[in-house]
Amino acid sequence: MTSSGNLEAARKWGTLAICCVASLVLGIDNTVVNLAFPHLVRDMDPSSTQLLWIADAYGFALGGLVIVMGSLGDRFGRKRLLLLGGAGFALASALTAEAPSAGWLIAARALQGVAGATLMPSTLSLVRNAFTDPKERTLAMGISGGVAAGGFALGPVVGGPLLDHFWWGSVFLINVPVMALVLVAGSVLLVESRNPNPGPIDWRSVPLSCLGVVATVYALKTAARDGVDRPDVWVCAALGVALLVGFVLRQRRAAHPLIDIALLRSRGFSGAIAASTLSIFALAAQSLAASLYFQDVRGYSPMGTGFALLLGPLGAMVTGPLCPVAVKALGRARAVGLGLVLMALSCFGYLLVGVESDYWVMGAVMFVSGLGIGLVFGIAGDTMLAGAPKERVGAAGAVDSTATELGGALGIALLGSLLTAVYRHRLTPPAGTPVRAAAAAHESIGGAVAVAPTLPARLGHALDAAAQQAFVDGFHAVVAAGGVVLLLGAGLVVRRLRGVPAVIADQDAEPRPAESVRASGRPTALRDVGPDAAQHPAAHVPLG
């Protein structure tokens, strides 16, 4: 290989490594704050409202801005946006770590979310543009998807030792040197890419997107936490849906939309989005329930829980790099369907887990789930980005990120509410339990664990045992429902992806102006992005 070839290879795989590190930090930061909550409460004494905003400010800002940031990356450069977001994330992490008050902490967490919204679509689009060979691209997206899945489980593993030896701010301050490494390596290795003919920004679409996503996510999270009988849940849900419908309608009419709605008519793009959303819908509630099981039923420490959950991400990291092999052997539709079926089977496998089950029963089921997650995230991500024009991959990645954000929130809202309902229905406190203790136990298994030691030993043990069994019953309801959804979804996704080829050729043709594409009446899918598209091999790829 020539020196120029060596440099190109180093840039490609260096780009993947940089983007994987950035994604890993985002995943860890999304979960590590939960570990720091007891320390935050002790040091800052925030109100209940402030505590909720500390938990949610990051996700609201990230989810609300990711579509806008993806479009900005397409216009002004994905490398530039990633470096700017990395610097902003490092600064926001330092401000979070040194927050002197709850209000400061909420603002800093929101700033972290803003920076995270610039990083998420940039990492996807930079990997997509670095790997032009279809087989290498599938491998790279598989590795990236496996690492991203692992980040969510690494929060307790990273945060536990830090909290054991340092103050709560250390779990955020650790982001600073990591992002510094991303900035230094990124400035050297990343290659800039952008849409050469982006047109002006449609600023009227920005508030529709931002406020629509935030209102919808707020409604889902509040419903999961406090129930659906609160009026603000319904007001925000109606407002969010109305704004998002208005956003979609405007994208169809705008001369230079933030996202190309025509992409959703592509079988490959829409099928991949559906697969990712379904998987995160089931996974979000499943992960929450598994974490609570280890801590409140089995008595693991937060750090021990993190290590116990690692078999799931390890499974994803095994199948992530094997995505090209699965696609070649099964085709894209069946490979993604296999991933969803493996996740469904793992859900039903959780039905074997009881209060006293051996860890390896749970561990084996989590590993199988991880195998499915690696296939779904890797192949669906590759299919979605390969099905989008190269000049719009930032916006396309933002659609995927937004869909998974909403899917996760919906999973927590629906399946989390099912867990709570079954737990409360099945819990029967033993005779003689004081009214206040019984009320605390009915609120959650955490309440039962907290109040049981305050009771006489025999009564406390009986209450603890009853709560553990009731929680396991709720856990079984959640995984059974998730398994059914995944099986039904697998059939729909396979049908949608049928006909999408195993090898999707890359597209390097210059894009046509947006107006001429719209005038043709055809969607700007992979085969319709340049004046020479009819001569390009990808012109004959049946994506939709």
Give pLDDT, residue 533: 32
Predicted confidence band of residue 1 (pLDDT cuts 50, 70, 90): low
Q: Is the pLDDT of residue 504 over 80?
A: no
Q: Which residue has the tokens 């089977």?
A: 345
pLDDT beyond 60 at 408: yes
pLDDT in tens, 356-390: 888 888 899 999 998 998 888 888 888 887 767 77
Distance CA 132, CA 381 (A): 15
Say which range, 252-266, 275-289, 298-312, 450-464, has the weakest mean pLDDT: 252-266
pLDDT over threshold 50, residue 518: no
The interaxial angle of helices 78-97 and 3-44, nearest 10 deg, is 30
SS (H, E, C) 156-197: HHHHHHHHHHCCCCHHHHCHHHHHHHHHHHHHHHCCCCCCCC
Span 312-318, mean pLDDT? 85
- pLDDT at 241 exceeding the cut of 60: yes
In this predicted structure, the answer to whether residue 276 has a pLDDT above a threshold of 80 is: yes
- Of 325, 332, 377, 269, nearest to 500 by C-alpha is 332
The confidence band for 184, taking pLDDT boundaries of 50, 70 and 90, is: very high
Q: Is the pLDDT of residue 526 over 80?
A: no
Average predicted confidence (pLDDT) for the chain: 79
pLDDT at 528 over 60: no
pLDDT (average), residues 497-512: 60
Q: Does residue 531 have a pLDDT over 50? A: no
508/524 Cα distance (integer angstroms):
14
Measured in residues, the chain has a length of 544
Residue 539 DSSP symbol: G
Query: Which DSSP category does 452 fall into?
Result: G
Residues 325-345, mean pLDDT to the nearest whole number: 90
Tell me which long-range contacts 225-229 makes (C-beta under 8 A, separation of at least 24): 225/52, 227/417, 228/417
Burial tier of 459 (Cβ tally within 10 Å: 0-12, 13-18, 19+): middle
For residue 295, how many other CB atoms are within 10 A of its CB?
19
Is the model more confident about 31 or about 505?
31
Buried b (16+ CB within 10 A) or exposed e, 268-278: bbbbbbbbbbb
- Say yes or no to pLDDT of 410 above 50: yes
pLDDT of residue 214: 84
What's the pLDDT score for residue 165? 79
Q: How far apart are CA 279 and CA 274, in angstroms?
A: 9
Q: Is the pLDDT of residue 339 over 90?
A: yes
Q: Which of 193-202, 271-280, 534-543 has the lowest mean pLDDT?
A: 534-543
- Give yes or no for a contact between 68 and 258, defined as CB atoms under 8 angstroms apart: yes
Residue 469 CB contacts under 8 Å (≥ 6 apart), including other chains? 355, 426
Q: What is the average pLDDT across 482-498?
A: 90
**pLDDT of 517 strictly over 80:** no
Q: pLDDT value at position 212?
A: 86
pLDDT score, position 502? 63
Percent of the chain scoring above 70 in pLDDT: 88
2 or 284: which leads in pLDDT: 284
Residue 543: per-residue pLDDT: 28
Q: Kindly tell me if the per-residue pLDDT of 539 is higher than 60.
A: no
Place 505 in a pLDDT band, splitting at 50, 70 and 90.
Answer: low
Short-list 158, 166, 171, 175, CA closest to 36: 171
Name the more confident of 242 and 524.
242
Instruction: For residue 391, name the pLDDT band (cuts at 50, 70, 90).
Output: low
**Residue 469, pLDDT above cutoff 60:** yes
Task: Give which of 185, 59, 80 is closest to 125, Cα–Cα.
Answer: 80
The predicted model scores a pTM of: 0.78
pLDDT of 534 above 70: no
Q: How confident is the model at residue 253 (pLDDT cuts 50, 70, 90)?
A: confident
Report the distance separating Cα 228 and Cα 219, nearest Å: 9
pLDDT of residue 350: 92
Residue 106 above 70 pLDDT? yes
Looking at residue 523, what is its pLDDT? 39
Cα(274)–Cα(425) distance, integer angstroms? 33
Q: What average pLDDT score do residues 319-348 get?
A: 89
pLDDT tens-digit readout, 188-229: 888 887 777 767 777 888 888 888 888 888 888 777 777 777
- pLDDT at site 472: 92
